[in-house]
């Protein structure tokens, strides 16, 4: 139950910008917030495993940013396909 509550609370923090800001600002805020959370959690994981934190944080942020960029590119591509028809 604690895991569900923790995941729910974290997920709800991403709703706040969407409700309180215009969508374009909310997206940027949510991406930055997600990267910050990822970096902090990666730091604690690295410390628990006695691994240099910069390696773990860098790896996770690189993967996350790659996913964001690829998702954006695919979204633009799909939008182009839909608008062409």
pLDDT for 42-62, tens place per residue? 999 999 999 999 999 999 999
Q: What number is the average pLDDT over the span 6-24?
A: 96
Buried b (16+ CB within 10 A) or exposed e, 41-52: ebeeebeeeeee
| Per-residue pLDDT, 84 | 78
| pTM across the whole model | 0.84
| Per-residue pLDDT, 78 | 96
Asked whether the predicted pLDDT for residue 85 surpasses 80, the reply is no
Closest CA to 42 of 63, 28, 22: 63
């Amino acid at each position: 139950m604690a895991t569900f509550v923790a995941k729910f609370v974290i997920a709800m923090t991403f709703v706040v910008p969407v409700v309180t800001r215009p969508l374009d600002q909310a997206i940027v805020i949510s991406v930055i917030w997600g990267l910050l959370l990822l970096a902090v959690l990666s730091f604690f994981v690295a410390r628990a495993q006695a691994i240099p934190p910069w390696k773990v944080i860098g790896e996770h942020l690189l993967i996350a940013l790659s996913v964001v960029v690829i998702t954006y590119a695919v979204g633009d591509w799909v939008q182009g396909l839909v608008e062409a028809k």
